[in-house]
Amino acid sequence: MPGIDSLSSICSSLYQRLNSSSMFAGTSHQTISRPVPFLLAIGILRCQFPAVSLQLSAELVSSEYGYTRKGVNMVATQNLEATIVGLEEERLAAMVAADVDSLDRILADDLSYVHTTAAIDTKESLTSGLASGRLNYESITPTAERVVRTYGDSAIVRGGAHVHVNGNHFSLEYTVVYVNNDDNWQMTSWHATRLP
């Protein structure tokens, strides 16, 4: 059986032939799904080399379409991750500015905000604490690259920050959960641990 590089080369060649084939003459990419020629190439590859597993065939799906081994659209995932990181930046700035209007949009109504002290705030108690000055964030500076993982209508962010709040300075690690509520991504959970 040929090696993975040979199979990939064969599959790409078949894809190019099928993509330019008269079978698709007169059709546009608006009327035919773009991956169809490549998927046909995978089918032909499997017919010619029956020992090639379906999993291996799937691994050969073209990155041109943004697919990975498991068929995840990486372009959409990267865009979503950028959206979530942007929301995090906006949220941190709103916390420091005590911008309750921005936080009202970013925070979910069922927010559970667990501080490093183990105190728990709801959306209402957090925003009212910021508005009243009970919580005075002077600065929040990210100290680690955020890691974003997406799972359909939810996203988990892990990161670190140095925080100056109510006169105290400390570093922390945190986990944040965002959910998609009617095409509006909102933070539903925050949990932080103070570093020694």
**pLDDT single digits (tens) 64-118:** 344 444 444 555 667 888 899 999 999 999 999 999 999 999 999 999 999 999 9
- Model confidence at 28, pLDDT cuts 50, 70, 90, reads very low
Q: 172, 194 in Cβ contact below 8 A?
A: yes
Q: What tens digit of pLDDT does each residue of 32-70 get? A: 444 445 555 556 555 665 555 544 545 554 443 444 444
Report DSSP letters for 147-167, one per residue: EEEEETTEEEEEEEEEEEETT
pLDDT at 39: 54
Mean pLDDT score across all residues of the chain: 77
| Share of residues in the chain with pLDDT > 70 (%) | 61
Neighbours of 196 (CB within 10 A): 4
Those residues with Cβ within 8 angstroms of residue 97's Cβ, 6 or more apart along the chain or in another chain: none
Q: Return the higher-pLDDT residue of 58 and 184.
A: 184
- Model confidence at 123, pLDDT cuts 50, 70, 90, reads very high
∠ CA 53-58-60 to the nearest 5 degrees? 105
Residue of 26, 54, 23, 50 lying closest to 36 (CA atoms): 23
Neighbours of 67 (CB within 10 A): 18
Which of 16-30, 57-71, 112-126 is modeled with the greatest confidence? 112-126
What letter represents residue 104's amino acid? D
pLDDT at 27: 45
Neighbours of 168 (CB within 10 A): 11
- By CB atoms closer than 10 A (0-12, 13-18, 19+), residue 65 is middle
Mean pLDDT of 147-175: 94
DSSP character at residue 169: E
- Model confidence at 144, pLDDT cuts 50, 70, 90, reads confident
